[in-house]
Amino acid sequence: MPRAATALLAVLRDGRSARRVLLDAELERLAPLMGGPVLEIGNGRCGRRGAFRPPPHVAGWLYVDLRMHASPHACADVMSLPFGDQLFETVLCLEVLEYVASPKAALGEMSRVLRDGGTLIMSTPYSTRPDTATDCWRFTANGLRHLAGSVGFEVTRLSEQGSVVSTLLHMCRSFNHGSAWRRRLVAWLTTPAFRVLLAFDGSSTTSTATIGGYTTGYVLVASKSREGL
């Protein structure tokens, strides 16, 4: 089943956004790259969003978050991580960079706590609305490559999560809240149209630049250079 179709069914079934469905699927594909100890930035031991869970093969999964109620191992800002240099094999940072005052400083801290040759897995939204007053940034693929490279990361993978249809699905989810009858009405009205459009989602990234520029967001995988900056 196409990824956009999977996203459509999940959005209508359990309320997850298309962005979250596609992000969860990408994280599952990347799970073999996650080696411990792992530092996850922007999550805690409770209240995790989405369906992705730390894979069972990883030992030593630590959380850092600004929200004490999320029960992180450390309550701290990503721009000033309370850990020594080169402690972690993997750093996971999901949907966080858009909120920080200095994305470059945040990536510099992630690089500092990663071991040489360690792996950064980071996701950022693109075609999504700002959801708080601190939601300040949206990054293109070129911008992410430049930003990661500026602090010594070598980008090994940069994937889009969906294209035009998935972006529309994500936008339409804002109407899929409220009472059960309203959710059913939205599903009834939107499902036929999206089924027609699904065929374009897989091919749109290779079509015209105008159409191909739409995506819900990106997942970047990068390796910390052993040579340093």
Q: What is the pLDDT of residues 155-206, one digit of tens each?
A: 999 998 887 777 777 776 665 555 666 656 665 555 555 555 555 565 444 4
Instruction: For residue 25, give every residue at least 6 positions away whose Cβ sits within 8 Å of its Cβ, in sequence order, or none.
Output: 3, 6
Q: Above 60 in pLDDT, residue 219? A: yes
The set of residues, in sequence order, having a beta carbon less than 8 Å from that of 90 and lying 6+ positions away, is 33, 34, 35, 36, 37, 38, 39, 58, 114, 118, 119, 120, 121
Structure tokens at 206: 């290779």
The dihedral over CA atoms of 157, 161, 164, 165, expressed in degrees to the nearest 10, equals 150
Hey, where are the domains in the chain?
Answer: 17-164+208-224
Binned at pLDDT 50, 70 and 90, residue 129 comes out as confident
Average pLDDT value for residue range 31-57: 92
Q: What is the dotted CATH code of the domain comprising 17-164+208-224?
A: 3.40.50.150
Decide: 200 and 164 in contact? Cβ < 8 Å: yes
What's the pLDDT score for residue 46?
A: 86
pLDDT for 193 equals 54
On the question of pLDDT at 124 being above 90, the answer is yes
